Structure 1
Amino acid sequence: MNKLIFILTFLILQSCATKNSKQTVIKPRILISTDIGGTDPDDNQSMIHFLMYSDLFETEGLVSSPSYGFGTKQNILDMIALYEKDLPKLIKHSAEFPLPDSLRAVTKQGRKGAAPYKGFDSSTEGSDWIVTCAKKESNRPLWVLVWGGLDDLAQALHDAPEIQNAIKVYWIGGPNKKWSTNSYAYIAEKFPKLWFIEANATYRGFFSDSNVQDSLKGDKYYENYISGGGYLGKDFKNYYKGDIKMGDTPSLLYVMNGDPNNPLADNWGGRFEKFSHSPRFVYERNTTLADTVSVYSIVEYQLDGPKISIPLDSTCFTMTVHAGVGEQKWPGFYLGDGKFAIRYAPKKSETLTYKITSDIPGFPEHKGQLVVNNLWPGKPLPSDYKLGANWYTDSTDPQLFDNEWQGAKTVLKWRSHVLMDWAKRWTWLKE
């Protein structure tokens, strides 16, 4: 009898230990800053992916940060509404999926439009929420996953500089750097000790079809695995006709798999290397084809013009950039005392032609050209932003380029694994 009691007691204790171990699974604390609803619908694709894996995270914030375009937090709420309809099927497979109302409660509106030259402006619901989350008592960092511009993050750091010690940032840069040059410059200059991954090209490995089996290619995956997958699956077809892009998803993959505290190691979200300087090219003249800058760098034009009576940091001139067959217009700012400035960040290797104009009487028109090479970060310059020990970026190893995209193979190598894992979750929505 004593032996039987001992065995039963042992089994009960083992059962309790197992239950306790399940209860103590440590989830990453995450806050997503997204420009969903803006010009690129890939954020909607990435939001669907996030919601289908939301049982793996302690989601503390979903912030609408449209530095360009017309996105609002309603775009996030619309996605949560679809998730709510699919939740009964998802929750059969994991009781850890968050309640829709808990996600709605942490959905906040951030800044609409890019920050002015100084890199910050006034606080928003979104930037305040970043501060609130970062200040929570925790022995775990808050992972700030930025899918668009850095404007709300820059504002949060300006308002509460102490949070830099409580957060770790994974930023999908590249084109997003064009929309938030000023907030990037502010962060790089004022917060060099921040823990920061700047993925300017690595993320592109996720929507590359190089050496990927046919059924997993971007234009085939929807019909093979997503079609018929609930309300989220039906909605996915609305973005790129279901063709896989999801350029922001690698930031989420980074905290899903591998050791996120070690950017130098393999990870679903990429492998990175340290860099100590972020290139900054400063010109007080028109540039020509004799001038070459690094891709993803900050290119700053500092111009002289008439002294005018308008508020400092006011938008008052425009730089029109022609690349290939298209053109884009960028705002320039008044710094006072007849000084004007504008920042630009090229997203790929190319030759640019630009023109700078203003309605201000006496403001001289400027024209020029610029050559962009594919060397990031390139050789150090005195004008570069000097970075601390915990800044990381795309691997410079030539073996890890996918075509011209630096470091992209460090994500591409896991693409099939990720998509097949996701395919299992799509079957949950087809039951």
Structure 2
Amino acid sequence: MSASLLIRLCLLAFIFFPACTPADNPTSETPKPRILISSDIGGTDPDDQQSMIHLLMYADRVQLEGLVASPYGPGRKEHFLEMIDLYDQDRERLLVHAPDLPATDSLRDIVKQGAIDGAPFAGYASPTEGSEWMITCARRSDDRPLWVLVWGGLEDLAQALHDAPDIKENIRVYWIGGPNKKWSVNAYAYIAKQHPDLWMIEANATYRGWFMYEDCPEDLTNEGFYSHHIRERGALGRAFKNYYDGNIKMGDTPSLAYVLDGDPDDPTGESWGGSFVPIDHSSRKIFNRNSTVSDTVAAYAVIEWSFPGPELEIAPDSACFTLEISGQIWPGYYLGDGIYGVRYASKKPEICTYITSSEIPELDGLKGQFVSITPWPGKNGPDDYQLGSNWYSDRPDPDLFLEEQQGVKTVSRHRRSFLQDWANRWSWLD
């Protein structure tokens, strides 16, 4: 064959059979979701350590960009670092099966300290290392959204939104609410009022499907999973036994499971992390008096009491009284002009009794009650926060309840799939 003929054949091949680009390649890997975790790890509930172990074992499936410690109580970012040290001990064995697992030092570099105290009545306070890192990650040039998975309070998210509202265009939030809502009620109130256009999944009860279930095989029960599948495998397995004696709770894990399974762009679809419905309002009730047992609110609603008192020469948003409900205490604040306010959010349907305490006589010993009921968010009321088109929450269908918890079955019905998948990963540590 002549050289000129060979050249002509090569040119024809280039024209009719162009080289494949990544977009043309049907086997090209789907881009990993970008995630940032905000957690109260080391705080009042050790289930965050369980969820962190799960996260580290699935870290090859995501692009992990931040670990922000925002606890109540004694927890700090050192608790993240302790879990990463355990991961480091097991990483070589896990790499055999999951070669995309991140380097240990890269994980240590993204651990940041967030807010330590709850937000005041305004809902935000001062920037933290964690809130500033959230802004940095959200502003990165990337076509993929940053998934902010909140396992505790909303303080750092509220602060980030206050300081850089433009990040709303780049983030999607999955928040484990419920009990975290009552501890983070002021930050939540700020976000719902000032940033109703946020893309948000507010899971007040759905997440409980991770540890509430029906008709479960013994090896996948909360009590049986450890002895059948974890069995002190590796440093992570030995540590898991330290939290709830190895019994599964992991109430924050559904947020991660949501981006691992199904289509996270569609909250109404099926996912290991639950299925949700859009809501156009977030329930709130304002009382300008003591409430009574005849006052009914939606479970998970923001309840706000406004009490008159003396005009003091102190800064607005100064904590100067407390509200006690069920043995737990919330700070109340001076709002200015002789008005004092405090918020609470019930974590379930319940009858609550409260009493205030203060050195200010007019605010000391005020008593009252209220009743919270499902389904959330209930009928629209005059005090409610009006939300945008991308706020989702627990499905209210009666057949998706377990006991009094709404939407739970949208997670629990996938229990066999997500736990068997995790059991397979534990076997890698043999």
For the superposition of Structure 1 and Structure 2, which TM-score range results when normalised by the shorter chain? Answer: over 0.9
Q: C-alpha offsets along residues 379-429 of structure 1, whole Å, 9 cap, x if unaligned? A: 110110000000000001111111211000000011111110000110111
Partner of 1:417: 417
Partner of 1:373: 373
Instruction: Please say if residues 306 and 363 of structure 1, whose CA atoms lie closer than 8 Å, have aligned partners that are also in contact.
Output: no
1:150 partner letter: L
Instruction: Please say if residues 186 and 343 of structure 2, whose CA atoms lie closer than 8 Å, have aligned partners that are also in contact.
Output: yes
Partner of 2:93: 89
2:125 is matched with which residue: 111, 121, 136?
A: 121
Q: C-alpha offsets along residues 93-132 of structure 1, whole Å, 9 cap, x if unaligned? A: 1210000100111110000011000000000000000000
Query: What pairs up with 1:262-301 in 2 under 5 angstroms?
Result: 262-301=266-305
CA distance in 1, matches of 2:129, 2:388: 29
- How far is the alpha carbon of 1:210 from its aligned partner? 1.5
Partner of 1:45: 50
1:243 is matched with which residue: 236, 244, 247?
A: 247
- Structure 1 residues 17 and 126, CA gap change in structure 2 (3 angstroms): closer
- How far is the alpha carbon of 1:23 from its aligned partner? 6.6
Query: What pairs up with 1:135-284 in 2 under 5 angstroms?
Result: 135-284=139-288
CA distance in 2, matches of 1:364, 1:241: 42
Query: What pairs up with 1:63-74 in 2 under 5 angstroms?
Result: 63-66=68-71, 68-74=72-78
2:354 is aligned with 1:354: yes
SS in 1 for 2:320: strand
Partner of 1:314: 318
2:388 partner letter: G
CA distance in 2, matches of 1:364, 1:239: 39
Gaps of 5+ in 1: none
CA distance in 2, matches of 1:210, 1:341: 42
- How far is the alpha carbon of 1:181 from its aligned partner? 0.3
Instruction: Please say if residues 232 and 241 of structure 2, whose CA atoms lie closer than 8 Å, have aligned partners that are also in contact.
Output: no
SS in 2 for 1:356: strand
Q: C-alpha offsets along residues 139-166 of structure 1, whole Å, 9 cap, x if unaligned? A: 1100000000000000000000000110
SS in 2 for 1:416: helix
SS in 2 for 1:399: helix
CA distance in 2, matches of 1:32, 1:196: 15
CA distance in 2, matches of 1:362, 1:283: 17
SS in 2 for 1:426: helix
- How far is the alpha carbon of 1:24 from its aligned partner? 4.5
Q: C-alpha offsets along residues 363-389 of structure 1, whole Å, 9 cap, x if unaligned? A: 453111111112211111011000000
Q: C-alpha offsets along residues 45-104 of structure 1, whole Å, 9 cap, x if unaligned? A: 0000000000001001000011x2221000000000000000010001121000010011
Gaps of 5+ in 2: none
Partner of 1:394: 394
Q: C-alpha offsets along residues 286-309 of structure 1, whole Å, 9 cap, x if unaligned? A: 111111111000000001011112
SS in 2 for 1:290: coil
CA distance in 2, matches of 1:258, 1:168: 16
SS in 1 for 2:120: coil
1:25 partner letter: T
Instruction: Please say if residues 209 and 218 of structure 1, whose CA atoms lie closer than 8 Å, have aligned partners that are also in contact.
Output: no
2:39 is aligned with 1:34: yes
TM-score (normalizing by structure 1): 0.94
Partner of 2:340: 340
2:97 partner letter: H
SS in 2 for 1:153: helix
Instruction: Please say if residues 307 and 363 of structure 2, whose CA atoms lie closer than 8 Å, have aligned partners that are also in contact.
Output: no
CA distance in 2, matches of 1:363, 1:246: 39
1:331 partner letter: P
- Structure 1 residues 194 and 74, CA gap change in structure 2 (3 angstroms): same
Instruction: Please say if residues 285 and 303 of structure 2, whose CA atoms lie closer than 8 Å, have aligned partners that are also in contact.
Output: yes
RMSD value, Cα = 2.1
Segment of structure 1 superposing worse, 310-319 or 355-364: 355-364
Instruction: Please say if residues 305 and 364 of structure 1, whose CA atoms lie closer than 8 Å, have aligned partners that are also in contact.
Output: no
CA distance in 2, matches of 1:270, 1:304: 43
SS in 1 for 2:335: strand
Instruction: Please say if residues 278 and 385 of structure 1, whose CA atoms lie closer than 8 Å, have aligned partners that are also in contact.
Output: yes
Instruction: Please say if residues 115 and 155 of structure 2, whose CA atoms lie closer than 8 Å, have aligned partners that are also in contact.
Output: yes
TM-score (normalizing by structure 2): 0.94
CA distance in 2, matches of 1:16, 1:161: 37
- How far is the alpha carbon of 1:311 from its aligned partner? 1.7
CA distance in 1, matches of 2:101, 2:27: 15
- Structure 1 residues 28 and 303, CA gap change in structure 2 (3 angstroms): same
CA distance in 1, matches of 2:218, 2:405: 22
SS in 2 for 1:309: coil
CA distance in 2, matches of 1:374, 1:350: 10
SS in 2 for 1:177: helix
CA distance in 2, matches of 1:361, 1:260: 52
2:138 is aligned with 1:134: yes
CA distance in 2, matches of 1:274, 1:15: 41
CA distance in 1, matches of 2:385, 2:20: 55
- How far is the alpha carbon of 1:224 from its aligned partner? 0.3
1:191 partner letter: H
CA distance in 2, matches of 1:235, 1:388: 42
SS in 2 for 1:203: helix
- Structure 1 residues 264 and 363, CA gap change in structure 2 (3 angstroms): closer
